[in-house]
């Protein structure tokens, strides 16, 4: 049965403010992918013409991505995304090793880390320096011990946009003989990723956070760093990750990264200006209740906010999001919705926010298509909803 949309109904203007969750596929990226979804559909492990064409596309994409990272092609391992890449980076740790990470990492690092703890790996979880929203260099240096094997700190926090001093942390790790890994997913569309300049030994990236397809990512692994495969059953990726390659997605990731590199600087300046405009609009209207979790020197695209209780009563974070959706604004909380409740974000709690305030959080993330009109509409919507919810509590 075909369901037709009621064109007589008035729908609100749609504003997408959730680019940190995923970005729309760039049309140029789709065009690059289409040949490998239609005519050139071969398995890259096959020796016939279609297979060789697929293999050539994968290796050309590997070279392109390596070039953008200032890496060698053989240092690029294709994965299903950054979650798998993070798990792969942590996989070599043995029960007698020590890992240093932070309390505000993505769950794609924290959950495998907790699994490693259960198998005997010692883990040090660092609280963030509240000034920068991430561990500082001194914290890392003090946490490294004789048996430390790996430090994993994300480049840009996915909830607050806080930027860690990756270059300085990597320098400390290099001096101490410790491998340095960073989850750079949120940095990819906005910040330089030269692995030689940053000094990292491993880096996780995901295509769909930079206008590429979902389901593909990479782990950069510096030559000489040991890597234990966790997906077995094939010799693909030089034996480091088994499974038939998603050729179209790999090509799409290379195309998306090329577009990101070409537009990065100008886009970052424009989006940062818009983010500051949004913050100012909100502060001017509801600053007495608004909490800004995004530090000053953050990545340009993320504004993390939260709302303090009204007359002793916490704001309902889920209702805030639902009301925004009804107004046509797509955003997210810095927390996970489950069974009708919102669990406070571990990142915001790690930054010291009270539980009730952390439950009423809102992450607004901008992108290439975000306009000043989008900013005005989003601010107007948030102010209207918060003021209405405030009246309901004090009335």
Name the CATH topology of 27-260.
Answer: 3.40.640
Q: Which of the two residues, 164 and 313, has the higher pLDDT score?
A: 164
Is the pLDDT at 77 greater than 60? The verdict is yes
Give the mean pLDDT of 254-268.
96
SS3 339: coil
In this predicted structure, what is the pLDDT of residue 234?
86
User: In this structure, are residues 305 and 282 in contact, taking their beta carbons and an 8 Å threshold?
Assistant: yes
User: In this structure, are residues 304 and 334 in contact, taking their beta carbons and an 8 Å threshold?
Assistant: yes
Is the pLDDT at 3 greater than 50? The verdict is no
Q: Hey, what's the torsion of the CAs at 134, 136, 140, 142, to 10 degrees?
A: -130
Give the mean pLDDT of 225-247.
91
Q: Identify which of 163, 132, 164, 133 has the alpha carbon closest to the alpha carbon of residue 151.
A: 164
264-394: CATH architecture:
Alpha-Beta Complex (3.90)
Q: Is 102 left (phi over 0), alpha (psi -120 to 50) or beta?
A: beta
In this predicted structure, what is the pLDDT of residue 10?
53
Is the pLDDT at 183 greater than 60? The verdict is yes
Q: Beta-carbon neighbour count of residue 377 at 10 Å?
A: 19
Phi and psi of 41, rounded to 5°?
-95, 10
CATH 3.40.640.10 placement within the chain: 27-260
Sorted by sequence, the CB contacts under 8 Å of residue 221 that are 6+ apart come out as 75, 77, 89, 201, 202, 227, 240
Catalytic center residues: 337
Tens of pLDDT along 27-40? 999 999 999 999 99
Is the pLDDT at 5 greater than 50? The verdict is no
Whole-number Å distance between alpha carbons of 134 and 152: 12
Per-residue H/E/C for 80-133: CCHHHHHHHHHCCCCCCCEEEEECCCCHHHHHHHHHHHHCCCEEEEECCECCCC
Q: Hey, what's the torsion of the CAs at 119, 122, 128, 133, to 10 degrees?
A: -50
27 is written with which tokens?
A: 């049309």
CATH 3.90.1150.10 placement within the chain: 264-394
Tens of pLDDT along 292-335? 999 999 999 999 999 999 878 888 888 999 999 999 999 998 65
Confidence of residue 64 (pLDDT cuts 50, 70, 90): very high
SS3 6: coil
Whole-number Å distance between alpha carbons of 379 and 285: 9
Give the mean pLDDT of 92-120.
93
306 is written with which tokens?
A: 């939260």
Whole-number Å distance between alpha carbons of 120 and 204: 25
Give, in order, the Cα–Cα distances in Å from 280 to each of 194, 267, 290.
Answer: 33, 20, 11
Tens of pLDDT along 124-136? 999 999 999 999 9
User: In this structure, are residues 253 and 33 in contact, taking their beta carbons and an 8 Å threshold?
Assistant: no
């Amino acid at each position: 049965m075909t369901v037709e949309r009621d064109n007589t109904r008035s729908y609100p203007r749609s504003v997408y403010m959730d680019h940190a969750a995923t970005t729309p596929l760039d049309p140029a990226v789709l065009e690059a992918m289409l040949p490998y979804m239609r005519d050139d559909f071969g398995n890259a492990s096959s020796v016939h013409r279609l297979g060789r064409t697929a293999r050539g596309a994968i290796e050309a994409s590997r070279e392109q991505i390596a070039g953008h990272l200032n890496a060698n092609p053989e240092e690029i391992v294709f994965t299903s995304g950054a979650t798998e890449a993070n798990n792969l980076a942590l996989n070599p740790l043995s029960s007698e090793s020590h890992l240093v990470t932070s309390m505000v990492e993505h769950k794609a690092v924290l959950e495998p880390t907790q699994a490693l703890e259960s198998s005997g790996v010692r883990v040090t979880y660092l609280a963030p320096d509240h000034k920068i929203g991430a561990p500082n260099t001194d914290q890392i240096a003090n946490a490294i011990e004789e048996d430390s094997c790996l430090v994993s700190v994300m480049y840009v926090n996915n909830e607050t946009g806080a930027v860690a001093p990756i270059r300085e942390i990597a320098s400390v790790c290099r001096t101490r003989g410790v491998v340095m890994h960073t989850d750079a997913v949120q940095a990819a569309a906005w910040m330089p990723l030269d692995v030689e300049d940053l000094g990292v030994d491993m880096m996780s990236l995901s295509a769909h956070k930079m206008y590429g397809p979902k389901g593909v990512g990479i782990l950069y692994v510096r030559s000489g760093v040991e890597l234990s495969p966790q997906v077995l059953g094939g010799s693909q990726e030089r034996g480091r990750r088994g499974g038939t390659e998603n050729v179209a997605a790999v090509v799409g990731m290379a195309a998306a990264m090329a577009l990101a590199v070409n537009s990065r600087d100008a886009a970052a300046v424009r989006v940062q200006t818009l983010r500051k405009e949004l913050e100012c609009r909100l502060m001017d209207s509801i600053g007495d209740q608004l909490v800004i979790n995004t530090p000053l020197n953050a990545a340009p695209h993320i504004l993390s906010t939260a709302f303090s209780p009204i007359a002793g009563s916490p704001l309902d974070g889920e209702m805030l999001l639902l009301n925004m959706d009804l107004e046509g604004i797509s955003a997210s909380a810095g927390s996970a919705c489950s069974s009708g409740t919102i669990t406070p974000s571990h990142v915001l709690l790690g930054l010291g926010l009270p539980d009730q305030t952390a439950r009423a959080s809102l992450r607004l993330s901008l992108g290439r298509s975000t306009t000043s009109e989008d900013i005005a509409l989003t601010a107007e919507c948030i102010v209207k909803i918060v003021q209405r919810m405030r009246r309901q509590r004090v009335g």
